[in-house]
Structure 1
Amino acid sequence: MEDRKLTVRAVERALDILLCFTQDSDLGLTEIASKIDLHKSTVHRLLATLEEKGFLIRNPATEKYRLGIRIWELSTHLPAFDESAAVLLPSMERLRDRLGETVSLYLRDGIERVRIQAVQSQQAIRRVAQIGARLPLSVGASSKVLAAYAPPEVLRELLESSEWPDYVEKNVYKDQLNEIIRLGYATSFEERESGAAAVAVPVTGRSGNVIAALSLSGPVSRLSRDTLVEYAAILKEAASEMGMMIP
C-alpha cells in the first residue's frame, strides 16, 4: 500500500510540473521547484524522467525547460489541436488548394520526426498523411530537412543509431544534408513509400531557429523532379509567412 501511495504521489508531482507550463513557456529548475513547493533534488529527478519520455525539452544553453513533442502527440487525439498547429492550418489549406497535393508539418523529436498537422489533397489519387505519425530521420524530404538543421550531436546520434537503414549510404546522406542547406529545400522520390514523392522546406521561427519542416507530397505520376523544384519556391514563401506566426 505504501509503495502505491508513493507511486501516485510521484505522478501527481510530475503532473504539477507540467501544469507549471500553462502560464510560462520556459522555466528553470529553481522556478519550477518554487512553483510546486518541492526540494530541487526531487524536482530534478522528475524533470529528468519527463525529459527522457519526451514531455519536456531542456535547452542546454539556458538550462530551462519547455513542453516537448509528446504533448503534441497527445493533443492530436483531442477535438482541437494545439494552438500553434491550428494557427498554421489556414496557410496550409491555401497551399494545398494552390498546388493540389497533401501538405504536412513536422517537428523533430530526437532522431525522429512527428507530423503535427496535415491537410489532405482533394484529388482522387492522393497521399494520406496521418497526424501524430512518428517517422525516422534517415529517409524522406522532411526528415532530411530537420536533420540538416539539427545540432551536430543529433546528427551523430542518428548516424550511429542501430536502426539506421542499410540501404542508405551515410556519406551520400551527409552530402545531401549539405546540399539542402545550400538550396533551402529537400526532395525525395520513393524513399519511404513506393510511388510517393515529396518536397520539404524548413520553417524558421521568429527566434531564428528552424522549428519545423513544411512538406508537400503526392504520387510520382504528378510530381516530377522539375515540378518539385518549382514547388519548392512556393513552399519557401509559405514557410516564411508561417514562421512569423509562431515563436
Structure 2
Amino acid sequence: MEEEKRTVRAVERALDILLVFAAGGEWGLSEIAVRCGLHKSTVHRLLATLEEKGFVVRDEVTEKYKLGLRILELSAHFATSDDPTVVLIGEMVKLRDQLGETISLYVRDRLERVRIQAVQSEQAIRRVAPVGVRLPLSVGASSKVLLAFAEPGVREALLADPSWPAGLQGPSYTQQLDEIVSAGYATSFEEREPGAAAISAPIFNRAGKLVAALAVSGPSNRLTPDVMQERSPAIVGAAKRMGALLG
C-alpha cells in the first residue's frame, strides 16, 4: 500500500511538472522546482524520465526544458467531434462579427473557471482574452452562469466549500442565481475589474448537460446594462445553436 502511494505521488509530481509548461516557453530546473514546490533533486529525476519518454526536451546550451514531440503525438489523437474549442469556433466568429466584442468559452474547474477558447474583438479598444486563463468562480458573468446552471448538488457543495467567499453565501446570493436561471443569462458590470463588462449564457449539449459558458465581454462604456439587456436574446440564441452542434 505504501509503495502504491509513492507511485501515485510520483505521477502527480510528474504531471505538475508538465503543467508548468502550460504557461509556455522554456523552463530551467530551478524555475520548475520553485513552481512545483519540489526539491531540485526530485524534479531532476522526474525530468530525466519525462525526457527519456519524449515528453520534454532539454536544450544542451541553455540547459532549459521545453515540451517534446510526444505531446504532439498525443494531441493528434485528441477527439475533436465534441470538443467545444473546435466545434464552436465558427459560431464564435459569427457572434464576434455580429456584436463586435470579444467572445469566450469558459468551463468550471472546482472553484475556478478556465477560458478554453476565445475570439478577439477587432475594435481598437477591446477585451483581450488569453486562452488558458483561470479566474475565480465567485465573480463575473460566466462564473455565475457556471454556478447557477450547475448539476444538482454542485451549487450547494461549492457554496459550502470553506474557501468560498463568506459574503457570497446565503439566501440573497442563492436568489440571484435562481434569477439567472429564470432569465437564461447573467451579466457583470465592472464586477471583477473596473472598465469591464460581460454577458454570459449557458451552452448545453443535446443531452442537456452543461458544457460551457458563452461570454461576450468588452469595455463597460460600450457594454452598458441597457446594451447587454438588448443583446441578451442574440447571445442566448447563439448559445442554443452552439449546444445543438454538440453531441
TM-score interval, normalised by the smaller of the two chains: 0.5 to 0.7
TM-score under structure 2 length normalisation: 0.65
CA distance 1:89–1:152, change in 2 (3 Å)? same
1:87, distance to aligned residue in structure 2 (A) = 1.6
Q: Report the count of equivalent residues.
A: 180
2:188–2:198 Cα contact (<8 Å) kept = yes
Counterpart Cα distance in 1 of 2:166 and 2:79: 36
Structure 1 letter corresponding to 2:195: G
Q: What is aligned with 1:221?
A: 221
Deviation per residue, 1:69-104 (Å, 9 max, x gap): xxxxx99xx79x973212211110110111010100
1:111–1:157 Cα contact (<8 Å) kept = no
Greater CA radius of gyration, 1 or 2?
Answer: 2
Please tell me the root mean square deviation across aligned C-alpha atoms, in Å: 2.9
1:152, distance to aligned residue in structure 2 (A) = 4.0
CA distance 1:168–1:7, change in 2 (3 Å)? closer
Q: What is aligned with 2:133?
A: 133
Q: Unpaired runs of 5+ in structure 2?
A: 16-70
1:106–1:212 Cα contact (<8 Å) kept = yes
Counterpart Cα distance in 2 of 1:230 and 1:82: 37
CA distance 1:166–1:195, change in 2 (3 Å)? farther
Alignment of 1:84-123 (within 5 A): 84=83, 85-123=85-123
2:197–2:223 Cα contact (<8 Å) kept = yes
1:137–1:158 Cα contact (<8 Å) kept = no
Structure 2 letter corresponding to 1:207: A
Deviation per residue, 1:111-148 (Å, 9 max, x gap): 32111100111111111111111222211111111101
1:236 has 2:240 as partner = no
1:110–1:154 Cα contact (<8 Å) kept = no
Q: What is aligned with 1:156?
A: 156
CA distance 1:104–1:82, change in 2 (3 Å)? farther
Structure 1 letter corresponding to 2:232: A
Counterpart Cα distance in 1 of 2:189 and 2:209: 27
2:159–2:169 Cα contact (<8 Å) kept = no
CA distance 1:145–1:152, change in 2 (3 Å)? same
Counterpart secondary structure, 1:135:
strand
Counterpart secondary structure, 2:223:
coil
Counterpart Cα distance in 2 of 1:110 and 1:154: 10
1:111–1:154 Cα contact (<8 Å) kept = no
1:161, distance to aligned residue in structure 2 (A) = 2.9
1:138–1:158 Cα contact (<8 Å) kept = no
Counterpart Cα distance in 1 of 2:163 and 2:103: 27
Alignment of 1:10-89 (within 5 A): 11=11, 83=80, 84=83, 85-89=85-89
Deviation per residue, 1:19-39 (Å, 9 max, x gap): xxxxxxxxxxxxxxxxxxxxx
Counterpart Cα distance in 1 of 2:175 and 2:130: 30
Q: What is aligned with 2:174?
A: 174
Name the % identity.
54
Deviation per residue, 1:21-61 (Å, 9 max, x gap): xxxxxxxxxxxxxxxxxxxxxxxxxxxxxxxxxxxxxxxxx
Counterpart Cα distance in 1 of 2:171 and 2:203: 26
Counterpart Cα distance in 2 of 1:200 and 1:140: 9
1:167, distance to aligned residue in structure 2 (A) = 5.1
Q: Unpaired runs of 5+ in structure 1?
A: 16-73
Counterpart Cα distance in 2 of 1:121 and 1:176: 29
